Amino acid sequence: MENYNISNTVVLVIGANGQLGSVLVKSLQEKFGVNNVIASDLRTREGYQGLFEIIDAITFERIEEVVKAYKVTQIYHLAAILSAKGEENPLQTWDINMKTMFNVFEVARLNQIEKVFYPSSIAVFGEGADKESTSNHAYLDPATVYGISKAAGENWAQYYFLRYGLDVRSIRYPGVIGYQSLPGGGTTDYAVDIFHKAVLGESFSCFLTEDTTLPMIFMDDVIRATIELMDAPKESIQTRTSYNLAGVSFSPKEVVEEIVKSYPNFEVNYEPDFRQRIADKWPKSIDDSLARNEWGWKPEFDLEAMSKIMIEKLKNYYNLVQA
C-beta closer to ligand AKB: residue 256 or 283:
283
- Cα separation, 49 vs 34, in Å, equals 8
Position 121 contacts ligand AKB (CB under 6 A): yes
- Cα separation, 88 vs 102, in Å, equals 23
| Residues in 154-173 at the binding interface with ligand AKB, rule: CB under 6 A | 173
Residue in 23, 122, 259, 303 binding ligand AKB, rule: CB under 6 A: 122
C-beta closer to ligand AKB: residue 118 or 173:
173
Position 149 contacts ligand AKB (CB under 6 A): no
Residue in 153, 175, 252, 283 binding ligand AKB, rule: CB under 6 A: 175
**Cβ at position 61, least distance to ligand AKB in Å:** 29
C-beta closer to ligand AKB: residue 103 or 188:
188
List, edge to edge, every strand of the sheet that includes 74-77: 51-54, 37-41, 11-14, 74-77, 115-117, 168-169
Q: Which of 118, 146, 173, 190 is catalytic?
A: 146
Number of residues that bind ligand AKB (CB under 6 A): 11
C-beta closer to ligand AKB: residue 93 or 187:
187
C-beta closer to ligand AKB: residue 186 or 252:
186
- Which of 99-107, 119-127, 131-139, 195-203 is the region at the interface with ligand AKB (rule: CB under 6 A)? 119-127
- Which of 45-53, 56-64, 120-128, 304-312 is the region at the interface with ligand AKB (rule: CB under 6 A)? 120-128
Binding mask 63-102 for ligand AKB (x = CB under 6 A): -------------------xx-------------------
Active site residue 164: no
Those residues with Cβ within 8 angstroms of residue 191's Cβ, 6 or more apart along the chain or in another chain: 175, 177, 214, 216, 250, 252, 255
Position 153 contacts ligand AKB (CB under 6 A): no
- Which of 7-15, 66-74, 89-97, 121-129 is the region at the interface with ligand AKB (rule: CB under 6 A)? 121-129
C-beta closer to ligand AKB: residue 37 or 183:
183
- Which of 4-12, 118-126, 132-140, 226-234 is the region at the interface with ligand AKB (rule: CB under 6 A)? 118-126
Burial of 162 (0-12, 13-18, 19+ CB in 10 A): exposed
> Which of 249, 13, 226 lies closest to 122 in space, CA to CA?
249
Binding mask 184-223 for ligand AKB (x = CB under 6 A): --xxx-----------------------------------
C-beta closer to ligand AKB: residue 113 or 119:
119
Q: Hey, how many other C-beta atoms are within 10 angstroms of the C-beta on 298?
A: 12
Chain positions contacting ligand AKB, by CB under 6 A: 82-83, 121-123, 146, 173, 175, 186-188
Catalytic residues: 146
